[in-house]
Structure 1
Amino acid sequence: MTVDQKKVLSLEDRIPKIKEHRKRKANRRLIFLISLFFLLILLVIYFQSPLSHVSEIKVKGNESVPDQTIIKRSGLKSGDNIWKLDKKKAVQKLEDHQEVKHAKVKIAFPNTVYLQIQEYKTIAYVLTGTEFHPILENGLIVESSPKGGVPVNAPILSNFKEDAILENMAKELKELKPEIVNGISEIHYTPKKTDKYHITLFMNDGFEVSATILTFSEKMVHYPSIVSQLDPKVKGVIDMEVGSFFKAYETKGASGEGEQQE
């Protein structure tokens, strides 16, 4: 058999394989086109079905602001197209609320929307008339009254107004550890001619503190160590305006007033 005959035979053997390869390739292309066609149909059906619209809006992370208030504030509604939601605008609306520090909008398959809220912490309460109103860490007074009454360990602020003085007071309280803040019963704004930031504190342990807002957190951080050196049976005023010293209350039959330098 000559070389040319071998080449002819070899080509005849390959023709069926080439045809089979082309057939498989054509079949794969057909399957791809059919799949794409059905996918487009499914997408059209999906966008026309309730699955592409918000079915439920859930709120997470909120404690003070009611769910319905947050949902209404976001501007989102059940039935909205889930792919056309303006999440950025909703977040902006939520964070415009005085009690909301941060907000996020998340979509969970297939059509649930989650509004994740981080509120400003309540650091104290202010007494206005006969009602208590929460004071947030940003210095704002919340108009609504607290649910279930005022917590026992929350300081009550008196004679304050919603101004720079209160804002500074809130910032100073925020700097303190919770255990110190929880030990404060009342904070009265008692300005002097020499110090418009002067405050008077009444502590849960029975002591009174004279201080100024400007150095409040810096001084109050030492309160536990100061009290540990005092006789718990002898109550009085701990002056923290400049230095730190203790002056006992006058008692009947006492020969004088005791002082303890700190």
Structure 2
Amino acid sequence: MEKGKIVSIEDRIPKLKKLRKRKANRRLILLLSFFFILIACVLYFLSPLSHIKEIKVMGNQYLSSDQIITLSGLTNDTNIWKVNKSEMIKKMIESQKEIESVTISTQFPNSVLITVTEFERIAYLSKNNRFYPIMENGKILTELESGEIPVFAPVLIDFTEGDTLNQLLDELKVLPEEIRNSISEIRKEPTKTDAYHITMFMNDGFEVSATSRTLSKKMIHYPSIVAQLDPNVKGVINLEVGSFFKAYDTPNLTEEINGVDQDENH
């Protein structure tokens, strides 16, 4: 070559050998690394390290964590990588009347989190001295265990499954929770003119006479109603047609209540 340095073949051969050797070494290292990673993965999947170590449950109020875990079928022998792929786990938990939805996620390295959303208990049906929780979706659960007391929801007396119960449940569902929880007891007391007439006993000592057909419309005003009354004078708040108050001590005297819809029932 003109004006260039001439490199002999003898000089180039060692350099080519070193270059080829380095490439071969890199390939060997990559292959060995891949092989060892593959072996490590196989050993991990076959070893107890890939099994569930901890199962956590969140969002449950009515069903216990142990009940939900049992429903899921998950155990410490379950491979954690099979959890997210199994729709059967969700279906088993959601088969319970109390459960609205379920999400299942895995947490590194080997924990599972089950998050449930439960239907709210909006009332308890009293029958034969037993209490049966009623969910917001209208489903009636099995009776409470002996000694378990209904809390944070009204107890329904003399109701049976049917239109009058469904009508009442529809009205209770749309009531604000704080008003619904202020009701202690609801008795079914139909009259000749109103098959949906009810009597409610409130936690604050007042009694309410109403119809379940307009319950949510009238009871939304309950806080403002009792604010107008003397808390030391108990009696019946009538919300059937209009709204007025009749004290127990003076049943012949009535007091009109302001701020409540005065429309007639339809």
Q: TM-score under structure 2 normalisation?
A: 0.80
- Note if 1:260 corresponds to 2:260: no
- Note if 1:37 corresponds to 2:35: yes
SS of structure 2 residue aligned to 1:117: strand
1:46 to 25, 44, 59: 44
| 1:158-209 superposed Cα distances (whole Å, 9 cap, x missing partner) | 1122445434433422322333223222111222343332211111222221
| 1:17-52 superposed Cα distances (whole Å, 9 cap, x missing partner) | 665554433322221111001111112212221223
Cα 1:200–1:18, aligned 2, differ >3 Å: closer, same or farther? farther
SS of structure 2 residue aligned to 1:43: helix
CA distance in 1, matches of 2:200, 2:4: 109
The more displaced of 78-87 and 196-205 is: 78-87
Cα 1:200–1:45, aligned 2, differ >3 Å: closer, same or farther? same
Q: Percent identity?
A: 52
Q: How many angstroms does 1:120 deviate by?
A: 1.7
Structure 2 gap ranges (5+): 259-266
CA-based RMSD: 3.0
Aligned length: 257
CA distance in 2, matches of 1:220, 1:163: 23
The one-letter code matched in structure 2 to 1:223 is Y
CA distance in 1, matches of 2:13, 2:217: 92
Q: TM-score under structure 1 normalisation?
A: 0.81
Q: Does the 8 Å CA contact 1:140/1:162 hold for their aligned counterparts?
A: no
In the alignment, what sits opposite 2:72? Answer: 74
Q: How many angstroms does 1:260 deviate by?
A: 1.2
SS of structure 2 residue aligned to 1:64: coil
In the alignment, what sits opposite 1:107? Answer: 106
SS of structure 2 residue aligned to 1:6: coil
Q: How does 1:1-262 map to 2 (within 5 A)?
A: 4=2, 6-9=4-7, 20-85=18-83, 86-145=85-144, 149-150=148-149, 153-249=152-248, 251=250, 256-262=252-258
Cα 1:152–1:42, aligned 2, differ >3 Å: closer, same or farther? closer
| 1:108-130 superposed Cα distances (whole Å, 9 cap, x missing partner) | 33333332222222233222222
Q: Does the 8 Å CA contact 1:87/1:105 hold for their aligned counterparts?
A: no
Structure 1 gap ranges (5+): none
Q: How many angstroms does 1:96 deviate by?
A: 1.3
Q: Does the 8 Å CA contact 2:228/2:257 hold for their aligned counterparts?
A: no
The more displaced of 153-162 and 99-108 is: 153-162
